[in-house]
Amino acid sequence: MKRVAIIGLGNFGYYLGRELSRQGFDVLGLDIRKDAVQHAKNDIAVTVVADATEKENLLNLGVAEADAAVVTIGTNMLASLLTTFMLKEIGVAKVYAKALSEEHERILKRVGADTILFPEKDMAMSLARRLANPNMLEYLPFIEDHGIFELEAPSDFVGKALRDLDLINRFGIQVLAVRQAVSNTLKFIPKADFVLRTGDTLILLAPNKAMKELNKVAG
Ligand code: ADP
């Protein structure tokens, strides 16, 4: 994924756009307020003053070609809902939308948002988890050059035991869990004799480079 459109450059949109730009994404930011655009323009490649509730504006700016769009408009709920609706209508594959309340969240889902972000709730849940589990390695997914990846079991993995795949010795990849297609349950830290079935998803801790290699050889 490369192109991301950020609708609304308030606090949330600005920090998201700045970080994605640093990570090498092609970011388009837009806001109805000139001052918000002014503030973001040195940190985000393309910033535009525009009303995102107007379908024409979204089309003219090429938002339809984005891989994902993030609606960060919060307080103006009508604008948030209209924008989300328009983004799905013009065919944006992945639309993330920010909610400020549970009601807002429910309606966003109804108008087609793929993923809801509820920063206050998400932060509160994450803080509660952190307080309850002080030893949890929150930084794990962000270790440089490593990541946690999902991989649907390629056809030549199916019917094989993890021992036979030997991902750890061949690629330096650790299998953390398997989401089993049959039962839709997560098997954490599966043993070497665990046999993969069609549709199972592997959750892997891996160096980014190793994942690329694995994707090349896995059929
Ligand atoms: P915050 O980021 O503090 O939560 P808001 O939730 O109110 O602020 O809105 C985020 C940003 O979305 C603001 O900068 C606002 O100007 C912008 N915005 C609101 N309505 C529109 C719209 N129709 N088109 C584009 N941007 C909008």
Summarised one tens digit per residue, pLDDT across range 136-158 is: 666 565 677 888 889 999 999 99
Q: Which domain holds residue 210?
A: 140-217
Distance between start and end Cα atoms, the chain = 22
- With bands split at pLDDT 50, 70 and 90, how would you rate the model's confidence at 212? confident
For the CA atoms of the chain, what is the radius of gyration? 21
Q: 112 and 164: one domain?
A: no
* Residue 14 Cα: closest atom of ligand 1: 2
Say if residue 173's pLDDT is above 90.
Answer: yes
Pocket test for ligand 1, best of 32, 98, 121 (most atoms within 8 A of CB): 32
Q: 18 and 108: one domain?
A: yes
What is the tally of structural domains in the chain? 2
Task: Report the alpha-carbon distance of residue 13 to residue 112 in Å, rounded.
Answer: 20
Whose CA is closest to 63, among 3, 2, 8, 19? 3
pTM (2 d.p.) = 0.76
> Of the residues 97, 125, 153, which one is the last residue of a structural domain?
125
Gap from CA of 15 to ligand 1 centroid (Å) = 14
pLDDT at 131: 86
For ligand 1, atom 1, name the residue with the nearest CA. Answer: 10
Give the tens place of pLDDT for each residue, 4-37: 999 999 999 999 999 999 999 999 999 999 999 9
> Of the residues 94, 125, 156, which one is the last residue of a structural domain?
125
Task: Report the alpha-carbon distance of residue 207 to residue 145 in Å, rounded.
Answer: 6
Pocket test for ligand 1, best of 38, 73, 77 (most atoms within 8 A of CB): 73
Task: Report the alpha-carbon distance of residue 157 to residue 155 in Å, rounded.
Answer: 5
Q: Taking a C-beta distance cutoff of 8 angstroms, is the pair 13, 34 a contact?
A: no
In a domain, 130, yes or no: no
pLDDT at 132: 83
Q: Taking a C-beta distance cutoff of 8 angstroms, is the pair 119, 71 a contact?
A: no
The one-letter amino acid code at 177 reads A
Task: Report the alpha-carbon distance of residue 5 to residue 194 in Å, rounded.
Answer: 42
pLDDT at 117: 97
Gap from CA of 37 to ligand 1 centroid (Å) = 11
Q: Taking a C-beta distance cutoff of 8 angstroms, is the pair 44, 27 a contact?
A: yes
Pocket test for ligand 1, best of 31, 51, 81, 85 (most atoms within 8 A of CB): 31
Residues with CB under 6 A from ligand 1: 7-13, 30-33, 36, 51-53, 72-76, 79
| Position with higher pLDDT, 55 vs 140 | 55
In a domain, 180, yes or no: yes
Strand order in the sheet with 3-7: 46-49, 26-31, 3-7, 68-71, 94-98, 115-117
Q: 54 and 102: one domain?
A: yes
pLDDT at 163: 97
Q: 150 and 184: one domain?
A: yes
Task: Report the alpha-carbon distance of residue 117 to residue 98 in Å, rounded.
Answer: 5
pLDDT at 102: 95
Residue 186 CB coordination number (10 Å): 13
Task: Report the alpha-carbon distance of residue 83 to residue 52 in Å, rounded.
Answer: 6
Segment 172-182 mean pLDDT = 94
